[in-house]
């Protein structure tokens, strides 16, 4: 197992907070040069101040296909490591009441943005001696729950896309992994509930939840495995989280 990523370049999307920020910091600590993207320029500047010259950044809206193409085309070379982390959940309403605008934004960010960036970078990554793609999915892609509708479906797409990439890339030196976190305390719930911090805090109340740093540790482990090992799917939950019963509607 490698303990260093010296000489490697990693591209981390959604690097302004949560899993993306924690992963960028950990990879810099392992010797990688990291390019972090996100929409919030001030957060990216703060990351640069924290991590130094090994962290470069670019503002990038993952819902803007043209901006993604231009960004990928302007890179001096393909990254050795691609962490497709940018994503979000919006709302928890049932499908009959949910906002179509929220659905569109989740699809554009969680699916289209990831697909467009991966497609733009893949030819260059495939030409490298060794490369890694880590797609951040979710247990919501495997286990349905009320209100997850499009969010869960978008993460199921990410997982299946990862597995299909593995098939397409058979015989190449590109590894692909789907990382599927469970209950992880980040800004995720605050975004889902439109900035309602109290409501977001109740999601994690009384649980020994995962943290962004926990997930970044798993990602680093994936990247430092011997090159002949590919972990296709990694599902991670805190010990306090498990699987729920089927939802049954009873009459009377």
- State CA 2 to chain mean position distance: 23
| pLDDT tens profile 22-65 | 999 999 999 999 999 999 999 999 999 999 999 999 999 999 99
pLDDT, the chain, mean: 94
Distances (CA, A) of 198 to 18, 194, 203, 205: 18, 11, 9, 10
Q: Which residues pair with 34 in a beta bridge?
A: 10, 55
| Residue 130: CB atoms within 10 Å | 13
| pLDDT tens profile 91-114 | 999 999 999 999 999 999 999 999
Nearest to 148 by CA among 85, 101, 103: 103
Amino acid 137: pLDDT: 98
Distances (CA, A) of 245 to 51, 144, 204, 207, 235: 44, 11, 20, 19, 19
Distance CA 61, CA 16 (A): 12
Most confident of 15-19, 113-117, 207-211, 236-240: 113-117
Question: Tokens at residue 75, please?
Answer: 């890179």
Residues forming the active site: 151
Q: Which of 7-16, 182-191, 239-248 has the lowest mean pLDDT?
A: 182-191
Distance CA 102, CA 150 (A): 9
- Burial classification of residue 144, based on how many CB atoms lie within 10 Å of its CB (0-12 exposed, 13-18 middle, 19 or more buried): middle
- Between 232 and 243, name the one with better pLDDT: 232
Q: According to the 3-state scheme, what is the secondary structure of 48-91?
A: HHHHHHHEEEEECCCCCHHHHHHHHHHCCCCCCEEEECCCCCCC
Distance CA 220, CA 218 (A): 5
Work out the average pLDDT over 109-131: 98
pTM, whole model, 2 decimals? 0.93
Amino acid 31: pLDDT: 98
């Amino acid at each position: 197992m490698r303990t260093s990523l010296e000489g490697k370049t990693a591209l981390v999307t959604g690097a302004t907070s949560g899993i993306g920020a924690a992963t960028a910091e950990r990879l810099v600590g392992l010797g990688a040069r990291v390019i972090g993207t996100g929409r919030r320029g001030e957060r990216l500047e703060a990351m640069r101040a924290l991590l130094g010259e090994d962290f470069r950044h670019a503002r990038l809206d993952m819902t803007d296909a043209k901006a993604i193409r231009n960004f990928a085309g302007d890179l001096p070379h393909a990254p050795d490591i691609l962490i497709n982390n940018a994503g979000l959940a919006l709302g928890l309403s049932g499908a009959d009441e949910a906002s179509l605008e929220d659905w569109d934004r989740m699809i554009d960010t969680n699916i289209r943005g990831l697909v467009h960036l991966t497609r733009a970078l893949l030819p260059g990554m495939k030409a490298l001696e060794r490369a890694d793609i880590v797609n951040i999915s979710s247990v919501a892609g495997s286990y349905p729950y009320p209100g997850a509708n499009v969010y869960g479906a978008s993460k199921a797409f990410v997982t299946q896309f990862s597995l299909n990439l593995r098939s397409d890339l058979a015989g190449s030196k590109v590894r692909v992994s789907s990382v599927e976190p469970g209950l992880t305390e980040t800004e995720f719930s605050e975004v889902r509930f439109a900035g309602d911090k109290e409501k977001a805090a109740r999601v994690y109340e009384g649980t020994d939840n995962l943290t962004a740093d926990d997930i970044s540790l798993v990602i680093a482990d994936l990247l430092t495995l011997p090159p002949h090992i590919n972990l296709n799917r990694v599902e991670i939950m805190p010990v306090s989280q498990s699987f729920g019963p089927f939802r049954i509607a009873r009459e009377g």
